[in-house]
Amino acid sequence: MISIISLLIGLLLPSLSHARRSARAVECLSNIRQIETAHWAYMTDHNGQMIDVGLSHGGVHEREHLAWIKALQDYYQNQQDSGRGDEVSARSPLDDSPHWGPAPDGEPIPGAPADQRRRTSYGLNDFLTSAAPLDSMRYRKLDRINNPANTVHILIMAFRGEFAASDHAHCTSWFRTSGPPAHVRAATTVQTNAVGGELGDADAMSNWGFLDGHAEQLPFKKLGSSPGHNKFNPDAGP
């Protein structure tokens, strides 16, 4: 009898673990949708202007007052405690980063000031922010985006590494004609396997929020394959 029970437990545990992770992934998608809903309310009040970034990677908190976690404070309904009280935390239930603070709690961020810590699981596509190269700054207002439903806006920041405390990823540098492919470059700043798969693989699965307000669970390969065919660049094909 004991051996039968042990066998049943061995069979059930992987299924239960998968079910728990699936539930967390759904909750994470809900978080992203809430952020996007808050963003639409923000744009309505700001003449179509989109939220911006202010938390740097591997360095000091530059222009922190512009960070979206502060700008959406009055719009985001599910405000989780970030330890600061004046900002959105929005921690994904999938997020097991060791860098959560505030300091002295949590592990230090590599290459960053000793007191810098992770403050949100989610970041922005830099194409849509002031962190983009100058030639991409035209995307800062919604009416300049041709296809919001095919433009990635929110992503899950890398759990570890120098981008763990940032509020944006450098998507503008991922799709190049030479060097490592985009799914490898992306994995250094974004947790491309937050839902499943191997980090750095094209099949790695994560949750993504789009500028029209919807969120999807997709493998990275579904988001683009070349500089002219990716869902991060508003001017590129879907």
Q: What is the mean pLDDT of residues 33-59?
A: 93
Confidence grade of residue 64 (pLDDT, cut at 50, 70, 90):
confident
Provide the percentage of residues in the chain whose pLDDT is more than 90.
64
Give the pLDDT confidence of 99-110 residue by residue, as tens digits.
Answer: 999 999 999 999
pLDDT, averaged across the chain: 87
Instruction: Give every strand in the sheet of 122-125, ordered side by side.
Output: 168-169, 122-125, 152-156, 205-210, 215-219
Q: Assess if residue 144 is contained within a domain.
A: yes
Q: Which of the 8 DSSP states describes residue 212?
A: T
The reply to whether 28 falls in a domain is yes
Report if residue 50 sits inside a domain: yes
pLDDT reported for residue 106: 96
Q: Give the whole-number percent of the chain exceeding pLDDT 70.
A: 84
Average pLDDT over residues 143-157: 95
The predicted model gives 170-197 an average pLDDT of 95
Q: How is residue 235 written in tokens?
A: 């001017």
Name the token pair of 98. 């060791």
pLDDT at 81 over 50: no
Domain membership flag for residue 235: no
Asked if the model's pLDDT at residue 124 lies above 70, the reply is yes
The residues with which 206 forms a beta bridge, in sequence order, are 218
Parent domain of 137: 2-230
What pLDDT sits at residue 177? 83
Q: Which two tokens stand for residue 97?
A: 């980063």
Residue 173 located in a structural domain:
yes
> Beta strands 205-210 and 168-169: pairing type?
unpaired
Is residue 53 left, alpha or beta, with left meaning phi > 0 and alpha meaning psi from -120 to 50?
Answer: beta
* pLDDT > 60? residue 7: no
Q: What is the pLDDT of residue 59?
A: 76
136-148 tens-digit pLDDT: 567 889 999 999 9
The mean pLDDT of 61-73, rounded to a whole number, is 86
Q: What's the pLDDT at 218? A: 97
Q: Is residue 236 part of a domain?
A: no
- Tell me how many domains the chain contains: 1
3-state secondary structure of 123: strand
Q: Has residue 237 got a pLDDT over 70?
A: no
Residue 237 lies in a domain: no
Residue 117 clears pLDDT 70, i.e. is over it: yes
DSSP string of the chain, one letter each residue: -HHHHHHHHHHHHHHHHHHHHHHHHHHHHHHHHHHHHHHHHHHHHTTTBPPB----SSS--TTGGGBHHHHTTTT-SS----SSSSS-----TT---TTBSSTTSSPPPTTS-TT--B--SEEEEGGGSTTS-GGGGGGGBGGG-S-GGGSEEEEEBPSSSTTTT-SEE-GGGT--SSSS-HHHHHTTTB-TTSSBS-TT-TT-EEEEEETTS-EEEEEGGGGEEETTEESSSTTSB-
- Look at residue 67 in the predicted model and tell me its pLDDT: 92
Task: Tell me whether residue 154 is in a domain.
Answer: yes
Residue 237: phi and psi, rounded to 5, are -75, 160
* Distance of alpha carbon 16 from alpha carbon 123, whole angstroms: 30
